[in-house]
Structure 1
């Protein structure tokens, strides 16, 4: 047997264990260092991407250079808290959305202003119609002198100055009566 009190097998295992534990700790230290470096790089890239996104977003929402600079610096200095504040303070619409909304409103107003309607049935009529095509209500009258169209309540032609007696709108005729008049003429 061995004159040493501990067996050689035991000594070898302890020796291997101490070497393995030291190498594991050094490998773990390297792994943690690499992980911390990668995580720090990710956080830096995330921070830069937030700043770039904020700059692009505020540029699409405002033409004011001071607002653009302030919003970008807010996110650059305060990171996520700055982004949260930016979301609260930023303009609700982008410039493109605001422009589209203004165009839609203008088109709606033009549509309302430009389209005359029949006072009796509400059907859209043209400016030069004498009668409503839907309910046959008289909309305008002709000047006997110059032939231009006049509104019914007018008592003088603004184009030639001819005096015309004012006329109230005639009640709508039935379609059959109009058809009979067309057939007889």
Structure 2
């Protein structure tokens, strides 16, 4: 049996086997490096622990892929900033032309500098846009 095995294991076949084993080892090390780098980017507080878990062949990488955070930390920060910006835009209708303070939709004057920012209906005293010719609340014609 060993004679057949020695005949089968030619130097070329041994080189192919060694190259294959080196390729598998390189993939294994790259997978561990990927887990460490990706866990750090995703903001995992103990990213190094994921690297240690990834040292367990196949199981560590699969565990990381199942339990990793869903998005990158930078993306979450950008989403939070975008949400805060949208909330601010919805809260403020515009800004005061005099001082730049945020003005809400129903403000008639700026609360900081007392500059008039909207017209007022003479009948119902509701704020009006500058281009309106009729008050939409009481049908009073504006001049």
State the TM bucket, normalised to the shorter chain.
0.5 to 0.7
User: What are the equivalent positions in structure 2 for 1:173-184 lying under 5 Å apart?
Assistant: 173=140, 177-178=141-142, 181=143
Name 1:72's counterpart in structure 2: 51
Instruction: Tell me the TM-score normalized by structure 2.
Output: 0.66
Q: Does residue 110 of structure 2 align to residue 171 of structure 1?
A: no
Instruction: Name the SS of the counterpart of 1:93 in structure 2.
Output: coil
Q: Does residue 121 of structure 2 align to residue 117 of structure 1?
A: no
Name 1:57's counterpart in structure 2: 38
Instruction: Name the SS of the counterpart of 1:92 in structure 2.
Output: coil
What root-mean-square deviation, in Å, do the aligned CA atoms of Structure 1 and Structure 2 show? 2.9
Structure 2 spans left out of the alignment, 5+ residues: 94-103, 111-116, 120-127
Larger radius of gyration: 1
Name 1:166's counterpart in structure 2: none
> 1:30: Cα distance to partner?
1.4
CA distance in 1, matches of 2:34, 2:109: 52
Instruction: Name the SS of the counterpart of 1:117 in structure 2.
Output: coil
Name 2:11's counterpart in structure 1: 30
> 1:63: Cα distance to partner?
5.4
Q: Does residue 26 of structure 2 align to residue 45 of structure 1?
A: yes
CA distance in 1, matches of 2:25, 2:76: 34
Instruction: Name the SS of the counterpart of 1:79 in structure 2.
Output: coil
Name 2:85's counterpart in structure 1: 107
Q: Does the 8 Å CA contact 1:71/1:86 hold for their aligned counterparts?
A: yes
Q: Does the 8 Å CA contact 2:92/2:105 hold for their aligned counterparts?
A: no
Equivalent residue in structure 2 for 1:91, among 38, 54, 69: 69
Paired residues, what number? 114
> 1:82: Cα distance to partner?
1.2
> 1:137: Cα distance to partner?
6.3
Q: Does the 8 Å CA contact 2:42/2:73 hold for their aligned counterparts?
A: yes
Instruction: Name the SS of the counterpart of 1:69 in structure 2.
Output: helix
